[in-house]
Structure 1
Amino acid sequence: MNVEHFRPNPDGPDGLPIQVQPALYKAFDKGQYGNYDLANRPTDMKINYIVIHNTETSYEEAIRLFSTPTATSANYVVRSVDGAVSEMVRPQNVAWHAGNWYINAHSIGIEHEGYAKDGRTWFTENMYQTSANLVKYLAAKYDIPLDRQHIIGHDNVPGLTPAAQKGMHWDPGTYWDWQHYFDLLGADLKQNTGDGSSRIITITPDPKANLLPQCGEKVTDNGTELPITGSNFVYLYKGPAFSAGLISDKDFSSRQTGTFEADDWSDKATYGQQFCKLGEEGDWTEIDYGGQSAWFYNPGGANSTDSKGQLVKSVGSKDVPIYGCAYPDNQILEKNQVSGVTPTTIYQIKPGRKYVYGGTVRGDYFNSHFDSAGDGNVIQGTEEYYQIQFNHRIAFIKAADAELNSRTSIS
């Protein structure tokens, strides 16, 4: 048995206020177990992501939940008032936190005490400082890029199926200060690194002036207005006018127009996310957002920054599938006696669509079971996938269905 999860010394930077509070690891009835999986990361699987969550409970309640049979956990939990940290699942092991098995297998989950709609109160400077110190340490140790395709919110995690996509979470939500957080990480996402020729832009709004109530913009929770100041996104419209109506997404609701609700991730581009610029008209900028044209108010480039990078273009003569994971193909899964798992299309896009490249991965599947943590539990595929910033969430496109403007190595 791998005993890493019982080791008393926490995995974190020197000087961090961190303690070990082990999450439940126990076999239940009928072959079930919880609340995480043993693994040997990064030897068996690379850690590609750090996922930022908020608890929607108190710090103490989050620890209690992860310590009882709830089939959920996180690697770390951060307290609001003083930034104290509890390590609950060692980074080598796989916590059950993201609602996407592929992302779980390749990520570290960090829960932050607080409630998303009241984030301006709960997300304290002590919390930001401690969390950023922890993320810097983990990113350096596990070679995770400090960008918004790898340091992501739970709201950026895709569903594995269209049905799952509808129920994916939206935390840490409207008031998580990504600009300040990345400043603490030492990565200035607002630094101008491009001349516009790449057509890649980074969303970089001023959280004090990104939304315009005089033009009807607001943030609501079940219709009740929340503060605008401190929000971390720009709204996306169907055309270059506030009267054009907000875009919508089939995987959020059946509405043809988006809403001002805080949990409506379908019509928001958040600080640090990158997109392919399609055009401009007056004070408005057009981007490709999940296969559709989306416009955001951007007078004088106030809400975006020209950036360098690479674009992935869908190719071929037919619609191209987009996935919420990078799993091996069905033949390989079936050969390894994995049932009930298949790479499922969550979107289809037209050829010629362009998205910002986030890395190349070879498909794999973590075939876990209780009390086992060996390389043989990871089923390796042969197909390559490109990670992209698709809409509000990251996604994956098969390399065979796409064209990258320059070739990179597999991670």
Structure 2
Amino acid sequence: MKKSLLLWAGLLGLSPTLHAQTGSRQAAGQAVSADTPYATDFAEAYRRYPAIPRGVLEAVAYTQTHIRHLGPTEQASCTGMPLAAGVMGLIADGKGYFRENLGLVARLADVNADLIQTSPRAHILAYAAAYARLATEQKLTAADPARHLPVLLALSELPLAKDAVSTFTLDSHLYSVLTFLNKAENQQRYGFPDYHLDLQRIFGANYQVLSSGTAQVSERQVRGEGQTFDPNSSTYARVASSDYGPAITDLTTCNYSSRGGVAVTHYAIHTVQGTYASCISWFKNCSAQVSAHYVVRSSDGQVTQMVSEANKAWHIGSENPYTIGTEHEGYVDDASWYTTAMYNSSAALARDICASGYGISGLRTFYGAATTGTFSTGACVKIKGHQHFPNQTHTDPGVNWNWEKFYTLINNAPTVTTLTAATGTVYDAGGASANYPDDVRQCQLIAPTGATSVSLTFSSFDVESGYDHLLVYDGANNQAPLIGKYSGTASPGTLTASSGKMFLELRSDCATTRPGFAATWSSAGGGSASCPTDSYEANETLATGKAIGVNVNNTAYVCPAADVDWYRFSSSTTNNNIKVTLTTLPADYDLELYDAGGTLLYSSTSASTTAETIVYNGAPAATYYVKVYGYNGATSSSAYTLRVSTQSVAWSSSAAIASRLNASTPEQPVVTITNPVQAGTKAWLTVTGYDGPADIVLRDSRGLPVGASTHAEIVSEQPLGYLLPANLSPSVYIVTLQLRTHVEYVKLLVQ
């Protein structure tokens, strides 16, 4: 696809607040990345207090607040748990349970506590001063963060005790901090070194429980991955000297009661307004008078069970008797806490509850727009937010929770009827003459053989207004760009899918049916050549990815349209610098690199048939997955070439540029951006081979700018974070960068 056409394919608006790179320097000459609002303050703290290992302050801040200043207007937690304050997430009033570490920091740093709560800079510097004082007293140096665990525990708000629950929460806090330090993308983004922390050695056998989502914990013991959690060998102990199978069972001894014979009929989604470890600890506090059945961790989706489903947890006031409730780590005003891992894990928990005999159907999951307020959906919707139940004042999970995504993950295996004729007629689940029934999820894929476009014209349309909906997508499934969501009696008219495939999804609630719809489709572009034999098929998913060797060429096909190819390979500790190239492209194909857990690491999405390249220097020895797919359903019966190359020395930027541009113009900058992303989260933009100013303009599908132009200072190969608006519709957009001499374009897929 030509860049001039790509420009009008649909563009994404960015937040008007853009944090550019700074000129501050670290001791080793590394640039301090300013893609967080407080990079300058963190840099100043490290200069003042050299005993603090670089990266530790950001690691604590990310664990506690995702590096966001929590002010006095922050929404209170529906659990009654004390709210943290500032960038480092300190507690001023522990309500007789949490340690009041804000006061401790103020005393150690000799700074007024009120100033710490109101000024982000004073907050960061005070925490750093307190940290440095404790580190100096213990004769610790910045070279080995693993020896700093006593300082991290001393400055935590979590209660100090040697029982199983307290030691587990303390270890969970430390695990989050050290995991942050171990991630290569954080080392690059925040400019700190790789300390090569051996988490298995640090946490011992307890590491299996801390890192696993399939552990079991009772009042007397904790088991995970075949290991027993030992409170006596927990980090704090050394320093101081179930209903849902995958969950850690950490049942509270209080803060619950009998359901009194009331049946479970609903499931409530909450946001903690705090951290995972703090929430677990708070629910163990018998004075809190609050609890939930489950808590989910943001970073990896680990689930801890606090109350048996047979008992009534105290999480939603008058609606407690008939509900199961789950708290999600994070804050309602910060979408970054709602990670893919959290959504996937929480949806798996919801599917288990649906299958547990309560009569809760996944089809009764709320999928409307996320909002900031409270409103009751009525009893028909069974899986919904705290804010959707009657008699509530709390508004979690709030405007940043993606209900449509959650609905799709819970109902992750729909039956799909595929229609391959060039023309035909489709009806709702009631057929040509009857009303559609209640509790329907009808999925139909119109995919005429070889079609380049599909048009659908409605002859009748009547679905229950505001409660039942028809969703239409331009592509092979409900992850494709949404054409529209229709309800009521107004006809959608004629809809066109430019991908050559159109996906229809009808959803109905528990009451009131209507005549539904009838529509006739036609297609264009049929009669394309059949697909050649591909020796790697079937490899449409990560789980079915085919093994390939390194430093060899592999040829295959993206065919038919919307075909996706997955491959897997392994790197070694010696040859730990990876370059993945996609060449001889017959169409606009894109490239992505994932870790074994399914997390997207890098993507390459150049326009048209430009070669795609991903470079990952210093990659840990592990199994990785490569995904090759056609942009917007692009396909061809001609082969592409995929090559994974590894070597012991880092791949140079010039080599990457030359490869990305097919060695034609190695001086031209290369622009990449993380794909796919979610509305309301950050997209990370990287420009290789260019340093200097850039004006960023975003355009909608008509080519019109969305928002004002944004100015940034680009540093080559330094990721620049953009916070995306929360109200974007799923689609493909283009980010345009006006550099000194020309404009660069990069595609962005919002899901």
TM-score in same-fold range (> 0.5): no
> Which one has more relative contact order, counting CA pairs under 8 Å at least 6 apart?
1
Larger CA Rg, structure 1 vs 2: 2
TM range (shorter): 0.3 to 0.5
